[in-house]
Chains A and B, each alone.
Chain A
Amino acid sequence: MATDPRHLLDELSALRRRARRDRHGYWFPFLLFGVIVAAAIPWYLPARCELGCSWSANELPALWHWLHPTGQASKAFPSGDHPSLWKDFYWMAALTVGFLATVWWYRWRAAKVGVETSTRLYVQVTVFVLAFPLLGVPLATRLVFSTLGWPVALSVLVVGVLVATLLAKRKLRTAVVILSLILVAHLVMIFPFGPLLVVAVGVLGLAWVERSALCTSFAVLFAAWALFVNGWSTWVYGSVLWPWALIDFADLLSSSLILVLGGIGGLIARRVRGAVPA
């Protein structure tokens, strides 16, 4: 038994590292969401109207005007691409299944290993960016933003979140996180690859609870890439001569690859560290 404070502190640090290493399980959600993103590629294959075919958004089912978390509502379709409700359904179902599977995975793993990672933060941020674009954003847009106008409504929203945070005696950073999540929820609906932002928020939440340098690196890389591909496809598409389908394919495949590499990296790290005594 160590009685010297230095040895005792070293021993406790080793125990903390060991517990942290044993509870790490981020490789599974990274691989899972990598597969989910890759499996979305077929939904982005060109399904165009015949030349000269025209369509109007008014012909689409009423549900489409509400449920469009894939940015199709604001995307221009100059090349004749017909928006697809199935693409929205795919993302909503896949992201929900991915979310539930991740929570289940951490619980299952806790029962197996003996140490449990808290998924509360992951659940909170993911549910927010999953549900808010479907319910909060359309309602807020129709009831508040359309009535008051954007400048006033935005100020009311920011002040409201700040006051609510202070009343709940939470730190200012909580208000910053909530406002950032509201912004992401809005972007989810207007960016062509909005669902990637939902995945990005989820993996960033996991990185926070996992406290792993490798997990954080891949989560930040994925979030930056998700923002880039969304910005790229929103503002640069029009000036590029490559076929849209090819760019969509490359955007999704590269995003999937980052997640899969993060998952494989996590698996390798787990095996390597497992071989080295704490």
Chain B
Amino acid sequence: MTEHPTSGLDDTVHQRHRLGILTIAAEVKRVEFGYLKSILELTAGNLSRHVTVLEEAGLLEVEKGYDGKRAKTWLSVTAAGREALAAEMAVLRALLARHDQT
């Protein structure tokens, strides 16, 4: 019997906003905290919590700096983050294919 696709879901990644953060970060070299906040329509505190989870899991790198006098936080996806995102997308597609068959 084949394993159900949901067994491949990663609890750290399988969360809509974290998936959104990883998807955007994987598309660009670096993404700024404020951009994510506005695109994902999250509060700074909420986004910060998701970023911390992803950073602690080694899926995101956080770089703090300044643009003039303004503090800026840049995020970039790690190789592990790219792999985790690809695996999650594969699981979602497999779930969809299974759903369409039934």
Contact = CB atoms under 8 A, between A and B. Distances in A.
A22 B99 CA distance: 34
Contact of B16 (A1, A6, A22, A118): A1
Contacts of A6: 96, 99
Interface in B31-45: 31-32, 34-36, 38-39
Given A8-B92, A15-B39, A115 B28 contact: yes
Contacts of B67: 111
A114 B23 contact: no
Interface residues of B, number: 25
B47 interface: no
Interface residues of A, number: 23
Contact of A115 (B20, B24, B92): B24
B39 A113 contact: no
Nearest to B67: A111
Nearest to A209: B29
Interface in A11-53: 11-12, 15-16, 18-20, 22-23
B20 A117 contact: no
A9 B24 contact: no
Interface in B77-93: 89, 92-93
B95 interface: yes
Contacts of A19: 23-24, 27-28, 31, 39
27 contacts: A1-B16, A5-B92, A5-B95, A5-B99, A6-B99, A9-B96, A11-B16, A11-B20, A12-B20, A15-B20, A15-B39, A16-B23, A16-B24, A19-B23, A19-B28, A20-B27, A110-B29, A111-B72, A114-B34, A114-B35, A114-B36, A114-B38, A115-B24, A115-B28, A116-B31, A117-B28, A117-B29
